Structure 1
Amino acid sequence: MLGTVPLLALVLVLALVLALAKPACPSVASAASQRAEALKRLLEVFGMEDPPAPPAHFKQPPQYMVDLFNTVANADGVTKNPDILEGNTVRSFLDKTHGEKMRFLFVLSSVAKSEKILTAELHLFRLWPRATNGPKRHHLCQVSVYQVLEKSELDTPGGKKLLAARLVSLQGSGWEVFAITQAVRDWTEDESSNQGLLVTVQGLGGGPLGPPPLQFASSSDPHESKKPMLVLFTDDGRRGASLPVAGFPDLGPQAPVLPPEMSVPKLTGPRSTRSLDRLQPCQRHPLSVDFEEIGWSGWIISPRGYNAFHCKGSCPFPLGENMRPTNHATVQSIINALKLSEGVSSPCCVPDKLYSINLLYFDDDENVVLKQYDDMVAGSCGCH
């Protein structure tokens, strides 16, 4: 019997240890699930169900898309010129014909059915003309872009449809842009109708030129920045309350706004510090969003992160105009101060101006997308 007492005590100790250890596992699981849920909600803010897979190999984004991002946004992605973009999304697609000259194919499977196609542009890089020994009789040629309707009948009237045509100089090099919006709308409505584009170069009278004095870079061009590209300006219908701002938004620290009648008492000690925090007037504070820390740096090209800012502080009575209160907040402040109704709190310190940000990123098909998101940065704070 004496031997069973220590054994019983050991069993009780082990049971107690196991009981105390059990909450640690749910805690870890809870933290992991909470992070997963938080990232899922953040993806919803960015209009995605899952984060795109990073490109398998290093890819240089088209220079056009990089330049467009830098024109629209600052280094943190905050919109500095809201009137440039048509819609809120710009998608770029590279040619998939593997270098076939004057024939181009762009796969648009990543464009959602709900996305409204506003403008579609074919970007072709005009190469330097080849040197010829004969006299230069022409300085211009006619370039035509056709939508292919039937590959096997390109020479018949029903085999192709003219989308754009214009005169192009035979001197120099550079980008030529052609509007092909209707063809892309057809392709997004019926994916099987996408049989590509055909580009022809003719003389001023529409006659053939041989050999062709004008050539465009193909998808096999060693220079990534010269490859043929389709650019779509679209709108996905996601709009917030952000208002366009004239010029570049001032995102410096917001000065505290104290009504002249209020003075902050001098307090000391830990509890006093907490009390002082509550007495700090409503103002804007930094809130850093780091995409690398979140684990999104593999597919986001720019920015690497941004400052979302947040509003914190008190809205003490009386509310001065410098606290930008709404009429409702002023009335609520009076009711709260005079205790005219039970359960009425003082107004809250919240953003009263919001700015949009822009992301430049690779989608699941390794196409580069520029997307603008409303209401992502607190521009200033007020009592509401």
Structure 2
Amino acid sequence: IKPEGEASKDPVTALLDTRLVHHNASQWEAFDVTPAVRRWIAHGQPNHGFVVEVVHLDHKSSVSRRHVRISRSLHQDDASWSQVRPLLVTFGNDGKGHPLHRREKRQAKHKERKRHKSNCKRHPLYVDFNDVGWNDWIVAPPGYSAFHCRGDCPFPLADHLNSTNHAIVQTLVNSVNSKIPKACCVPT
């Protein structure tokens, strides 16, 4: 976004994310703005904020568009507004803990692919009730696919991972104290 005071009134923007949301939905939407903030820091650019733009999919003028509010409702008191107002949750590092990542020299793209292979993902795990001695009290089925997770969970935990509040807090604590284990996903 273009800084204040420049001649042009049109801000320079970069698209960070898009979402398709049903007009009747009343829900939280989370956007990962980490790449933009990292670019600001890496290129010495000041933070000029974020623009949230809501566009109706049907561009016909005959279609009535409902007003989308991302601010306080007219009939909402201060107490309830403080519970549901738009919110930017940030993760920071004051330098007192151990660094999360060491800066590495840029390598070829195959190095990047290799790193992503270690990200957490679901792997097969079949539990045979006969093998664990449960076949005498579980008649059927003979076993089930329990699955298991292996790999590293990204930091900060992304919205699509459906992280619990406990997992988010545990990940934050691990970033400052490596004696606390990283959060682990549940194979679903």
TM-score (ref. length: structure 1): 0.21
Structure number, greater radius of gyration: 1
* Larger proportion of strand: 1
* Larger proportion of helix: 1
TM-score (ref. length: structure 2): 0.39
Higher RCO structure, 1 or 2 (CA under 8 Å, sep 6+): 1
